[in-house]
């Protein structure tokens, strides 16, 4: 291994990467685009959901109930007059939730508040077709109905607390992210997404292109060893992606207001190491492909499930046992866990040692495999 | 438009079919991807909380507090709780991701229950906001329904029901998906996802590949116009796309029992403008790119945002305005709306007119773009 040869190879790689304006653009635009897209899409707060209201009561009390539901901006009520119309609204997706206020709503409310008789029963219908939306809307709507009901019952009649207001008060506080803001969650995961996907793609394509142009064979007949070729390929790209991580962290901070809670330097070190692991994976993909298109297709077919199962968007604990076990074998899973721990929960190196250890182990295996694949091609 | 317009298209289509039949990589992708996606979305991925780890700090140590913990467990979303002895330990578990929820029950809980003003404290791991929000709601529902009068020292009047409900009762139902499985939500859009992948990756390579091998120039030398070449290339892929769509729909039905509730005819009709628009975008990408590597890159980075912004993974109703409107430029947005209406909610033709028109407009726009970009270029 000679430093002079390695330096030459690195200089060559940097020039080749930067000379192609398309690659340079991709390296900047894709990470930032992913950051903004993912940063904006996820929010846990339900806003302006269209709510079909079938008000069979039509009194001041029922109108008050609907007005209260609309007041917080969570629901946009749209009156319907028949059951059939309500059904059509749900089928066509014009309404995501529907409530049916019974004809005796105000009387039942008064009776119930006075302590006699059953309280009024409101029927709530969710569009289960939008499963995620319905799951989140459920909590909001129930909480609001309970709250509004309590105010209606007390203000309509007397000031004394509603009898039979059973139940336990829950004082809730969310740590690390008090507003349960989705942006932080997605931003910290986006690093994992970009570094798993873009790195693999870029290496795969760059090696296959060299092979097509014949420059790879030329490299192999020079005195450079396959370790030098490997490092000459991986180190400059690794440096570029390390810069990408820094750029993403800055844009996330300035544009989205998400700064890392933990140590940025520690995060950069962990990310850089993960980049190397990912690049080695890209090298493996390219070793088994004959055209750039094939390499990319292979990367996409393998990377999509890898990223999906890594907990980037869907929590791992929700998966069945087999997939929970399987996903522990992917380096992306461990990197995303690390980036969330550092970015959101300000975790330090000692507590994360097992995760880092796994990443190192996996990286070592991949790098050895990638080196082997370079040698067998020679 | 020349007199030989249709026969030129047919000729190009025939040639394209022959090429496709021999492309092993393409056939592999077409067959592997549906299986992978079906397994992922059918078995693995879900937003519905499960196996939630949690910690309980029970200062009360009373039958009442244990009953409360048991009722939370009975929701079925939680693993057995980890008992902790202090706040520091609970926070540590949250930080280390060993607990998503930390429930603290005060010393006076039992007495408070008897007096009618009980409260508990709930700390959530906000670093996973979607799960935290949902789990918080589940525990809140248990708490609201918790029977505070059932303590044995406080026998209720025998004629009164034991459970005293709040001022308003709600009776709720989830239509179209009673157990609220994410699986139904994802699989109803599976066809759309697969077709987006297919149309973009196959088409975008088509023209660039021909340009690289020089066969594009040969075709231009024939009496075919650029637009005839494009349309001829589209035709065989429309056939493949329909086959893939039927395969995905039938697989979802056969494996998971999710057969379309609505009209098959409407599903078949609305697929056409979607496939055409997606293929058109593939052609456009192909006209933009100079090498096939570039073409694949552009199409991959079109597919990614179209999955995210169209709402197949995550409801578009949650997205802020601006982002939501950008999503409307992706054909997948309108197709997933239509296919979810038809497959999950049993809609017919009348309910999918709007998405169908939107898809047709998108196709027209893309076609105009292709026409503008595809002026015969040599070299």
Q: Do B225 and B360 have their domain in common?
A: yes
Q: Are A180 and B124 in contact (CB < 8 Å)?
A: yes
**Does residue B316 sit within a domain?**
yes
Residue of A nearest to B319 (CA): A41
Q: Do B226 and B263 have their domain in common?
A: yes
Q: Do B139 and B151 have their domain in common?
A: yes
Q: Which residues in chain A have their CB less than 8 angstroms from residue B318's CB?
A: 41-43, 46, 132-133, 136
Last residue of a domain, one of B180, B212, B233: B180
Q: Which residues in chain A have their CB less than 8 angstroms from residue B33's CB?
A: 301
Closest by CA position to A153, among listed A142, A167, A163? A163
On whether the CB atoms of residues B317 and A96 are closer than 8 A, the answer is yes
Q: Are B319 and A173 in contact (CB < 8 Å)?
A: no
Write out pLDDT tens, residues B325-341.
888 999 999 999 999 88
Residue of B nearest to A201 (CA): B297
Write out pLDDT tens, residues B57-105.
999 999 989 999 999 999 889 999 999 998 899 988 888 888 999 999 9
**Does residue B34 sit within a domain?**
yes
The CATH number of A49-156 is which of 2.40.40.20, 2.60.40.1260, 3.40.50.150, 3.40.1710.10? 3.40.1710.10
Count CB-CB contacts under 10 A for residue A365.
Answer: 13
Asked if B46 is an interface residue toward chain A (Cβ–Cβ < 8 A), one would say: yes
Last residue of a domain, one of B138, B162, B180: B180
**Does residue B153 sit within a domain?**
yes
Asked if A68 is an interface residue toward chain B (Cβ–Cβ < 8 A), one would say: no
Q: Do B87 and B117 have their domain in common?
A: yes
Structure-token pair, residue A28: 């900047």
Structure-token pair, residue B231: 């349309």
Tell me the pTM. Answer: 0.80
Q: Which residues in chain A have their CB less than 8 angstroms from residue B36's CB?
A: 301, 304-305
Q: Do B174 and B116 have their domain in common?
A: yes
Measured between alpha carbons, how far is residue A291 from residues A210, A329, A364 in Å?
A: 10, 28, 27
Q: Do B225 and B105 have their domain in common?
A: no
**Does residue B217 sit within a domain?**
yes
ipTM over 0.95: no
Q: Do B250 and B198 have their domain in common?
A: yes
Q: Do B153 and B92 have their domain in common?
A: yes
Count CB-CB contacts under 10 A for residue A12.
Answer: 15
Q: Are A42 and B130 in contact (CB < 8 Å)?
A: yes
Q: Do B218 and B262 have their domain in common?
A: yes
Spell out the per-residue pLDDT of chain A, length 378, in tens: 788 888 888 888 888 777 778 888 888 888 888 888 888 776 666 677 888 999 988 888 888 888 888 887 778 899 999 988 988 888 877 888 888 988 888 888 777 767 666 778 888 888 887 777 787 777 778 777 777 777 776 665 444 444 444 567 777 777 777 777 778 888 888 899 888 888 888 887 777 777 777 877 787 778 878 788 888 888 888 888 999 999 999 999 998 888 888 889 999 999 999 998 888 888 887 777 777 767 777 777 777 788 888 888 788 888 888 988 988 888 889 999 899 888 888 888 888 888 899 899 988 898 888 888 777 654
* Spatial distance between the Cα atoms of B261 and B243, rounded to a whole number of angstroms: 20
B residues 55-84 lying closer than 8 A (beta carbon) to A = 68
**Range(s) of the domain holding residue B170:** 47-180
* Range(s) of chain A covered by CATH 3.40.1710.10: 49-156
Last residue of a domain, one of B138, B160, B180: B180
* Spatial distance between the Cα atoms of B221 and A82, rounded to a whole number of angstroms: 65
Structure-token pair, residue B119: 């409260």
* Spatial distance between the Cα atoms of B140 and B115, rounded to a whole number of angstroms: 20
Phi, psi of A177 (to 5 degrees): -165, 75
CATH of the domain at B81: 3.40.1710
Per the structure, the count of domains in chain B is 2
Asked if A305 is an interface residue toward chain B (Cβ–Cβ < 8 A), one would say: yes
Confidence of residue B167 (pLDDT cuts 50, 70, 90): low
Q: Are A296 and B293 in contact (CB < 8 Å)?
A: yes
Q: Do B138 and B269 have their domain in common?
A: no
Q: Do B164 and B291 have their domain in common?
A: no
Length of chain B: 379
**Does residue B242 sit within a domain?**
yes
Q: Do B284 and B192 have their domain in common?
A: yes
Chain B nearest CA to A295, separation (Å): 9
Closest by CA position to A111, among listed A163, A69, A59? A163
In this predicted structure, the answer to whether residue B151 has a pLDDT above a threshold of 70 is no
């Amino acid at each position: 291994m000679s430093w002079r040869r390695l330096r030459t190879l690195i200089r060559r790689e940097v020039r080749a990467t930067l000379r192609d304006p398309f690659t340079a653009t991709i390296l900047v635009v894709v990470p930032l685009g992913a950051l903004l897209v993912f940063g904006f899409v996820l929010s846990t707060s339900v806003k302006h959901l269209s709510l079909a209201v079938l008000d069979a009561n039509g009194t001041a009390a029922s109108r008050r109930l609907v007005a209260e539901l609309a007041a917080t901006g969570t629901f946009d009520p749209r009156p319907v007059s028949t059951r059939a119309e309500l059904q059509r609204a749900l089928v066509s997706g014009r309404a995501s939730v529907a409530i049916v206020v019974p004809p005796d709503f105000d009387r039942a409310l008064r009776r119930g508040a006075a302590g006699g008789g059953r309280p009024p029963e409101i029927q709530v219908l969710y569009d289960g077709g939008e499963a995620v939306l319905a799951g989140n809307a459920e909590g909001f709507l129930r909480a609001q109905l309970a709250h509004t009901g309590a105010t209606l019952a007390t203000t309509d009649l007397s000031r004394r607390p509603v009898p039979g207001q059973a139940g336990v008060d829950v004082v809730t506080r969310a740590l690390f992210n008090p507003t349960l803001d989705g942006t932080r969650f997605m931003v910290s995961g986006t690093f994992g997404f970009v570094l798993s996907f873009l790195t693999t793609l870029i290496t795969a394509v760059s090696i296959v292109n060299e092979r097509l142009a014949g420059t790879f064979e030329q490299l192999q007949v020079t005195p450079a060893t396959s370790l030098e070729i490997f490092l000459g390929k991986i180190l400059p790209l690794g440096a570029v992606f390390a810069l990408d991580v820094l750029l993403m962290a800055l844009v996330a901070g300035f544009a989205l207001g998400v700064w890392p809670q933990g140590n940025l330097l520690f995060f950069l070190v962990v990310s850089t190491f993960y980049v190397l692991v990912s690049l080695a994976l890209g090298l493996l993909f390219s070793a088994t492909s004959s055209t750039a298109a094939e390499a990319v297709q292979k990367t996409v077919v393998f990377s999509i499930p890898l990223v999906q199962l890594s907990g980037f968007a869907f929590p791992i604990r929700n998966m069945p046992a087999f997939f929970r076990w399987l996903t522990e074998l992917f380096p992306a899973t461990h990197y995303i866990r690390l980036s969330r721990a550092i970015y959101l929960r300000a975790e330090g190196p000692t507590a994360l040692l097992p995760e880092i250890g796994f990443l190192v182990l996996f990286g070592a295996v991949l790098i050895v495999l990638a080196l082997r694949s370079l040698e067998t091609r020679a | 438009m020349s007199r030989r317009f249709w026969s030129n298209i047919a000729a190009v289509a025939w040639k394209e079919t022959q090429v496709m039949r021999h492309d092993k990589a393409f056939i592999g992708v077409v067959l592997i991807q549906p299986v992978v996606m079906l397994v992922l979305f059918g078995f693995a991925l879900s937003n519905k909380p499960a196996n939630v780890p949690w910690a309980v700090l029970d200062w009360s140590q009373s039958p009442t507090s244990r009953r409360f913990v048991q009722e939370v467990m009975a929701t079925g979303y939680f693993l057995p709780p980890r008992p902790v002895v202090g706040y520091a330990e609970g926070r540590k578990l949250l930080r280390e991701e060993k607990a998503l929820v930390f429930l603290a029950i005060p010393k006076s809980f039992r007495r408070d229950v008897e007096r009618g003003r009980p409260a508990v404290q709930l700390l959530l791991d906000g670093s996973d906001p979607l799960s935290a929000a949902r789990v918080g709601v589940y525990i809140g529902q248990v708490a609201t329904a918790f029977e505070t009068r059932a303590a044995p020292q406080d026998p209720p009047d025998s004629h009164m029901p034991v459970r005293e409900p709040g001022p308003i009762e709600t009776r709720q139902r989830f239509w179209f998906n009673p157990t609220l499985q994410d699986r139904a939500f994802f699989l109803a859009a599976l066809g759309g996802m697969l077709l987006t992948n297919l149309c973009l990756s196959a088409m975008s390579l088509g023209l660039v590949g021909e340009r690289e091998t020089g066969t594009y120039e040969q075709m231009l030398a024939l009496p075919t116009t650029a637009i005839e070449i494009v349309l001829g290339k589209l035709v065989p892929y429309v056939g493949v796309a329909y086959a893939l769509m039927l395969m995905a729909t039938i697989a979802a039905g056969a494996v998971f029992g999710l057969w379309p509730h609505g009209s098959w005819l409407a599903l078949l009709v609305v697929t056409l403008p979607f496939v055409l628009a997606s293929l058109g975008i593939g052609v456009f990408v192909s006209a933009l790119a100079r090498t096939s590597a570039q073409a694949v890159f552009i199409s991959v980075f079109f597919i990614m945002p179209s999955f995210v912004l169209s709402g197949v993974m995550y409801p578009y109703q949650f997205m802020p305005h601006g982002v939501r409107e950008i999503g409307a430029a992706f054909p997948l947005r309108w197709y997933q709306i239509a296919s979810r209406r038809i497959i999950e909610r049993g809609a017919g033709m009348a309910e999918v007119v709007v998405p169908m028109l939107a898809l047709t407009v998108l196709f027209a726009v893309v076609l105009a773009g292709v026409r503008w970009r595809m002026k015969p270029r040599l070299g």
